[in-house]
């Protein structure tokens, strides 16, 4: 099964890209991202030798899921940049400063989807406009659909995992420091990670 339906582990057939199971129409609708059970994170290479992980604690988002035609699905996310957290107050303060995100001038990072496609099985790709520091550039996020369920409170939920790589310099994030041994302190390449749980809106 594809998006909006759990894959049968006993089914060895390969789902062709774009194929849609007829049962998926039941999950078509508008959804609100549940930030208490979702994460938006990132990974940066530090000093050429290790990875530093972080995330954002304050964000909102909505999804429109179309079970009959996944290409009509959409996503919208707004992230409060002042909520950045890497486990170090000093580092977080530097990231909020004029060297990086300039959070007082640019308080929000946004993503607005422009296209979606089924890749086969539970794999999808959503493409859209990512805006950071007032600069908007295209971003494609590879997604895996994790399933759908009704929680004990009666909420209909869907879950996705996503990942994407960006070059931060393309959004004007160019601060760095040279290392005596060669290389730079902070990688240009940043890995973005998404774990999303979304609740279907009441009709």
pLDDT in tens, 71-116: 999 999 999 999 999 999 999 999 999 999 999 999 999 999 999 9
Residue 84 pLDDT = 98
Domain boundaries of the chain, sorted by first residue: 22-200
Residue 162 pLDDT = 98
Max Cα-Cα span within the chain: 60
- Indicate whether 31 pLDDT > 70: yes
Residue 23 pLDDT = 62
Task: Give the angle subtended at the CA of 168 by the CAs of 53 and 91, to the nearest 5°.
Answer: 40
Higher pLDDT, 195 or 4: 195
**Residue % of the chain over a pLDDT of 90:** 83
Task: Give the angle subtended at the CA of 159 by the CAs of 140 and 120, to the nearest 5°.
Answer: 55
CA distance 4 to 20: 9
Mean pLDDT of 6-28: 52
187 — pLDDT class (breaks 50, 70, 90):
very high
Model confidence pTM above 0.85:
yes
67 — pLDDT class (breaks 50, 70, 90):
confident
- Indicate whether 18 pLDDT > 60: no
Q: What is the mean pLDDT of the chain?
A: 90
pLDDT digits (tens, 9 = 90+) for 36-61: 999 999 999 998 999 999 999 999 99
> Taking a C-beta distance cutoff of 8 angstroms, is the pair 10, 164 a contact?
no
Residue 161 pLDDT = 98
Mean pLDDT of 115-127: 95
Instruction: Pick 22-200's CATH classification: 2.40.10.500, 3.90.1150.10, 2.40.128.110, 3.40.50.2300.
Output: 2.40.128.110
In angstroms, the Cα distances linking 101 to 15, 86, 94, 108, 156 are 42, 14, 9, 10, 36
7 — pLDDT class (breaks 50, 70, 90):
very low
CA distance 3 to 7: 9
> Residue 120: helix, strand or coil by DSSP?
strand
| Nearest partner of 46 among 196, 191, 195, 153, judged by Cα | 191
Residue 68 pLDDT = 86
């Amino acid at each position: 099964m594809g998006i909006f339906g759990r894959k049968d582990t006993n089914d060895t057939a390969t789902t062709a890209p774009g194929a849609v199971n007829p049962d998926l129409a039941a999950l078509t609708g508008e959804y609100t991202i549940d930030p208490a059970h979702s994460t938006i994170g990132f990974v940066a290479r530090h000093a050429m030798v290790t990875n530093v992980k972080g995330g954002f604690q304050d964000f909102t988002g909505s999804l429109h899921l179309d079970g009959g035609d996944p290409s009509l699905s959409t996503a919208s996310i707004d992230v409060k940049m002042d909520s950045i957290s890497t486990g170090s107050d000093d580092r977080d303060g530097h990231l909020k400063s004029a060297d990086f995100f300039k959070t007082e001038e640019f308080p929000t990072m946004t993503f607005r989807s422009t296209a979606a496609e089924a890749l086969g099985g539970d794999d999808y790709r959503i493409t859209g406009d990512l805006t950071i520091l007032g600069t908007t550039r295209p971003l494609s996020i590879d997604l895996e659909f994790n399933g759908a369920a009704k929680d004990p409170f009666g909420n209909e939920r869907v879950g996705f995992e996503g990942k994407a790589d960006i070059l931060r310099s393309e959004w004007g994030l160019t601060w760095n420091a040279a290392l005596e041994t060669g290389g730079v302190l902070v990688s240009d390449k940043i890995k973005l990670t998404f774990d999303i749980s979304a609740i279907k809106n009441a009709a």
